[in-house]
A and B are shown apart, each in its own frame.
Chain A
Amino acid sequence: MGERQNDGGPAGRRRAHPEGTPSGRRGPGAATAGPDLEALLAAALIREGVDVGAEQRAVAAFLAARETGARGARTRRRDDWRTRGGRLGRRSLKATLSVLIAGLTLSGVAVAGIGAAGGPSPDEPARDVSGTRAPSSGTATPSAGGSTTAPETGSGRPGRPATAKDTEAHCRAYDRVRGRGKALDSAVWKRLVEAAGGAADVGAYCAGRLEADAPSGQPGNEGNGRSGRNGNGPTGEPGANTFGNQGSSGNQGNGPAGPTGNPGEPEKSGNPGAGRP
């Protein structure tokens, strides 16, 4: 302990900071006030005056850099310490651009989503279609309800029944695109051909399909007329009881209609097509 007291006067070790020697202003707790403590630390840590040799080396480096023409060097981001105003403009421009790009990206996604939802999607489950679309298709095509389950029973492919509307449309379009090559390669046509049981049978298949959908007033087709009527009943009326009833009645109606209608009139395939507007 004595050594400490005998230790040389503190002023001897202190660097050049005469103003840093405070006098009597402090009491306990004053150091927490900040400025005092910071001044004290600064005075203790900073050695005023610079090493002349080090300064000369720095200046020599400066002169060398000046000779090599380094002054025109490009300012990198880390070299730009201008006040915030200058940088703010640049940042807001960047923010604007990123918002714009984000907006474009999102709207692109939205458009793609609309395309995916609205486009023809043959893979839609039949249950959804009959649940959501049956009423509207009932008004557009009078006997849609009755024919909904027909492809299932007819083709024996319970996995992917196309909707009545789809099948009708495909059949109609088939006449138009037949013989034009590529169009028939698409998945929709392949499915139609598959459902018909071969390319040669598409005509007969479609004739059956379209006939089944024909208005009940068409003469000479008892079976179809009956099935059409059966289908029409529940779908056409807004107050249809249940879709379950509709489905079963359609089945019953189509069951006899398919065998009697299709094999008996292969030559009629042209008629419905020609008769269509």
Chain B
Amino acid sequence: MGHGGESRRVKAYDGELGAAVERAQEGDEAAFAVAYRFVQPGLLAYVRGLVGDDAEDVMSDAWLEIARDLGRFRGDGAGFRGWTATIARHRALDHLRRQRVRPRPSALEQDVLDLPGPQSTYDQAMESLSTEYALELVGGLPRDQAEAVLLRVVVGLDGPAAARVLGKRPGAVRTAAYRGLKRLARQLGPDGVTDEASQTLGEST
């Protein structure tokens, strides 16, 4: 269980999501709330990868736009995830442009990755991956790889949908996701570090 990945889990609900979106488009606010609960966690995780701690604010703005433009949307549950991800991404990029803030300082991520972890084993790494550490790892990827990985893993988009969100060719996005995941796997491999390393980051550096 759980091996299918978040994307597969999310896709299992696409039928329900699509129905909720349809009812929301007819004016049903309860259905809108259902749709919100379906997609918000994944979108928030994606936006957090882009803007860090400001993700909640950015998503609030994004939902204002989603609620306003819902009548324009055409598509099913999977389409709704792609559509909302596009809006969330635009709001996040606007936010970055305004704030001129890098989501994750590179010095921090380098320290994390360079910390030796003699006590760690691969199993420990797999069992104790924290949100913060996962964010650090993803944030250490090149921007295009990080976004491709996040859209696939936490938003649950397939290749073409992720490509449309990013405004790139599907092949390029597929390659970026593959490379990003491969790099993460290498970092989490037997020689990688455990999540305790990131926990003690503040003290050890």
Seen from chain A, the residues whose Cβ lies within 8 Å of a Cβ on chain B are 1, 3-5, 7, 10, 13-15, 17, 19-22, 24, 26-29, 31-32, 34-51, 54-55, 57-59, 61-66, 70-76, 78-84
Contacts and interface: CB of A to CB of B under 8 A. Distances in A.
Contact of A39 (B2, B64, B69): B2
A50 to B, nearest CB: 5
Contact of B70 (A22, A28, A62): A62
17 contacts: A10-B195, A22-B127, A34-B5, A36-B126, A37-B188, A39-B2, A42-B9, A44-B130, A45-B49, A45-B134, A45-B153, A46-B41, A55-B37, A58-B32, A62-B67, A65-B68, A66-B27
A51 to B, nearest CB: 7
Contact of B41 (A13, A50, A73): A50
Given A47-B45, A61-B67, A31 B2 contact: no
Interface in B169-184: 181-182, 184
B60 interface: yes
Interface string B99-130: 00000000000000000011100110011111
B41 A7 contact: no
Given A1-B119, A37-B181, A58 B36 contact: yes
B71 interface: yes
A41 B64 contact: no
Summarize A's interface: helix, strand, loop or mixed: helix
Interface in B27-42: 27, 29, 32-33, 36-37, 40-42
Nearest to A44: B134
Given A7-B196, A26-B122, A45 B152 contact: no
Given A37-B181, A41-B134, A72 B149 contact: no
A21 B128 CA distance: 9
Nearest to B87: A78
Given A66-B29, A82-B74, 5 more contacts: A38-B6, A45-B138, A47-B131, A50-B36, A57-B60
Contacts of B48: 45
Nearest to A48: B41
A42 B149 CA distance: 10
Interface of B: 1-7, 9, 24-25, 27, 29, 32-33, 36-37, 40-42, 44-45, 48-49, 56, 59-60, 63-64, 66-76, 78-80, 82-83, 86, 117-119, 122-123, 126-131, 133-135, 138, 149-150, 152-154, 160-161, 181-182, 184-186, 188-190, 194-197, 199-200, 203-204
B189 to A, nearest CB: 6
Contacts of B49: 45
B79 A46 contact: no
A41 B149 contact: yes
Contact of A59 (B32, B72, B189): B32
A53 B190 CA distance: 42
B63 A42 contact: no
Contacts of A65: 67-68, 70-71
B2 A79 contact: no
A72 B26 CA distance: 10
A82 B154 CA distance: 21
Instruction: Give 7 nearest A-B pairs by CB, closest first.
Output: A42-B6, A81-B79, A81-B75, A10-B128, A71-B71, A44-B134, A19-B2
Contacts of A39: 2-6
Contact of B130 (A13, A19, A55): A13
Given A31-B185, A78-B86, A70 B135 contact: no
B53 to A, nearest CB: 13
A42 to B, nearest CB: 3
A31 B188 contact: yes
A50 B182 CA distance: 31
A82 B6 contact: no
A26 B76 contact: no
A170 to B, nearest CB: 62
Contact of A28 (B1, B190, B204): B190
A10 B128 CA distance: 5
Contact of A80 (B74, B160, B195): B74
